[in-house]
Structure 1
C-alpha cells in the first residue's frame, strides 16, 4: 500500500495564473508499506512527489473552488509552463 506523507506546503498560493486563480504547491513523501506479520510492517521509501492544486477564489470568505490537481514526479514546472498546460485543458478560463 502506497502512503503519501505531507512533507510541507511550500506556499499557500505559489502564484497567480490569472485574476482569482491560484496555485497551491505541496510536497509529499511516498512510502510503500507492507505488513510483515501481526505486529510489524516494512516501510520502503519511494521518493517524493509534488502535487499542484489550481483553485479559484470567488472572493467570498473560505470558498476556494478546486479547478484541477496535477502530480509531478520529476522536474517541477514553472508557473508559465503550468499556465500553458491549463490553457490546453481549460481554454475558456484564459479567453
Structure 2
C-alpha cells in the first residue's frame, strides 16, 4: 500500500489572484507499507513537491485543478515555478 502524507502546505499569491483562484504548494512524504508476517514494514520512497493552480466554484467549496507543476529537474525550485506561473497564467492575476 502506498501512503502519501502531506507534510507542508502553503498558499501563494493570496492577494494577487482573481477571486476563486488559488495557487497552492504541497510537499508530500511517500511511504510504501508492506504487511509481512503480521507486522507492517514501511519503506521511505522520498518526498514529492507540487504547486497546483485551483479554481473554486463559489460557496460549494468545489475546486477544480487548472494546472499542476511538479518540482523536479524541469522545475527545480519553488521560486522558478512561481515565476513560470506568473508568466504562463497571467489571466488568473488581477
TM-score by length of 2: 0.63
Is the strand fraction higher in 1 or 2?
Answer: 1
- Tell me, yes or no, if structure 1 residue 23 matches structure 2 residue 10: no
Q: State the superposition RMSD in angstroms.
A: 2.7
Confirm or deny: 8 A CA contact 1:6 1:29 kept in the other structure: yes
- 5+ long unaligned stretches in structure 1: 88-92
1:19 aligned counterpart, secondary structure: coil
Q: Give the Cα–Cα distance (whole angstroms) in 1 for the partners of residues 56 and 39 of structure 2.
A: 45
Cα shift at 1:63: 4.5
TM-score by length of 1: 0.63
Q: Aligned pair in 2 of structure 1 residues 72, 25: CA closer, same or farther (>3 Å)?
A: same
2:13 aligned counterpart, secondary structure: strand
Runs of 4+ in 1 over 4 A off after TM superposition: none
2:78 aligned counterpart, secondary structure: coil
- Tell me, yes or no, if structure 1 residue 36 matches structure 2 residue 39: no
